Amino acid sequence: MIDFRNIRVLAFDADDTLWDCQSHFESVENHLYRLIAPYCDNPAHELFMTESGNMADLGYGCKAFTISIIETALRVAGDHLSAEELSDLLSDSKSLLHLPATPLPEVKETLQRLQAWPYRLAVFTKGELQDQENKLHRSGLAKYFSHVEITSNKTEVEFQQLCEHLDILPEHLLMIGNSLKSDIAPALNIGASAIHIPFHVTWQLEHSEDIEHERLVKITHFNEILKLL
Ligand SMILES: [Mg+2]
């Protein structure tokens, strides 16, 4: 059971929690899969292998994804693809830098109402600094948050640092996000509480076993946060 009287900071994940991100990435993935499908058995696995191999050096985000997309196309089907096909794939990947970041249903209204409540609101997201900042700006939601933290990864270490930067104990933090792996599990592991809002698609590197925990609540609509608090 989450002790909501203890909560001081609500930290929100951004991609696929505040706005739709993954479905735009999936559209580019499908573009790649169409190109390389004649030359391999499992296009999704080929991309997964490239992304996994690049993770330690490139991390998360659009630029890392773009490199992995082009690298996979070249590795699997480089001899068969024209410069024009590769150029189109590159443009499609780079268009993710301008995805609309339109707030998901109920997000804006809920944040608006939460402003009147005695909680500090934070964004805690992993990815590329400029891209994440740009999306937050485009979403029109930046004004609702008093703290924005963008990190290369979201593990227990970064969650501890978030608490230090906010000058709170883990028990004062409530993390809200769509990824069990990077939003929920590490928050629970450091002693914080969490609300899981699943998104309809999950990136394969974020797949995780389901979690049951006394400090975790699962909801399906963003505005259920208001009822819980
Ligand atoms: Mg997310």
Is residue 28 pLDDT above 80, yes or no?
yes
Which residues make Cβ contacts (< 8 Å) with residue 214, sequence separation at least 6? 1, 2
Q: What is the distance in A from the centroid of ligand 1 to the CA of 179?
A: 6
Question: What CATH fold (topology level) applies to the domain 20-96?
Answer: DNA polymerase; domain 1 (1.10.150)
Measured in angstroms, how far is the CA atom of residue 15 from the centroid of ligand 1?
4
Average of per-residue pLDDT across 53-68: 96
Taking the centre of ligand 1 as the mean of its atom positions, its distance from the CA of residue 139, in whole angstroms, is 15
| pLDDT greater than 80 at residue 68 | yes
Convert the pLDDT of each residue in 184-205 to its tens digit: 999 999 999 999 999 877 776 7
What is the residue extent of each domain of the chain? 2-18+99-225, 20-96
pLDDT at 78 over 80: yes
Q: How far is the CA of 21 from the centre of ligand 1 (A)?
A: 8
Is the predicted pLDDT of residue 138 greater than 90, yes or no? Answer: yes
**Which residue(s) pair with 149 in the sheet?**
124
Q: Which pLDDT belongs to residue 30?
A: 98
Q: How far is the C-alpha of 181 from the C-alpha of 153, rounded, in Å?
A: 11
Q: What is the mean pLDDT of residues 67-96?
A: 98
What distance in angstroms lies between residue 71's CA and the mean position of ligand 1's atoms?
A: 25
Hey, what CATH topology would domain 2-18+99-225 get? Answer: Rossmann fold (3.40.50)
Ligand 1 mean position, distance from CA 12 (Å): 9
User: H helices of the chain, where?
Assistant: 22-36, 43-58, 62-77, 83-94, 107-114, 129-139, 156-166, 185-189, 224-228
Helix (H, G, I), strand (E, B) or coil at 31: helix
| Confidence check: pLDDT of 216 > 80 | yes
Q: How far is the CA of 38 from the centre of ligand 1 (A)?
A: 32
CA of 198 to the centre of ligand 1 (A): 9
- 80 CA from centroid of ligand 1 (Å): 35
Listing DSSP states for 109-122 in one string gives: HHHHHHTTSS-EEE
In this predicted structure, the answer to whether residue 66 has a pLDDT above a threshold of 80 is: yes
C-alpha 191 – ligand 1 centre gap (Å): 20
Q: How confident is the model at residue 209 (pLDDT cuts 50, 70, 90)?
A: confident
Of the two residues 211 and 209, the one the predictor is more confident about is 211
pLDDT band at 1 (very low <50, low <70, confident <90, very high): confident
Taking the C-alpha atoms of residue 57 and residue 10, their distance in angstroms, rounded to an integer, is 31
DSSP one-letter string for 34-76: HHHGGG-S-HHHHHHHHHHHHHHHH-SSHHHHHHHHHHHHHHH
> Does this chain's domain 2-18+99-225 share its CATH topology with 20-96?
no
Beta bridge partners of 151: 126
Average pLDDT of the chain is 95
pLDDT above 90: percentage of residues in the chain: 92
Q: Output the pLDDT for position 201.
A: 72
What is the side-by-side strand order in the sheet with 9-12? 147-151, 120-126, 9-12, 173-177, 193-196, 216-218
Task: Please tell me the predicted confidence (pLDDT) of residue 37.
Answer: 98
What is the Å distance from ligand 1's center to 77 Cα?
31
Please tell me the distance between residue 22's alpha carbon and the centre of ligand 1 in angstroms. 8
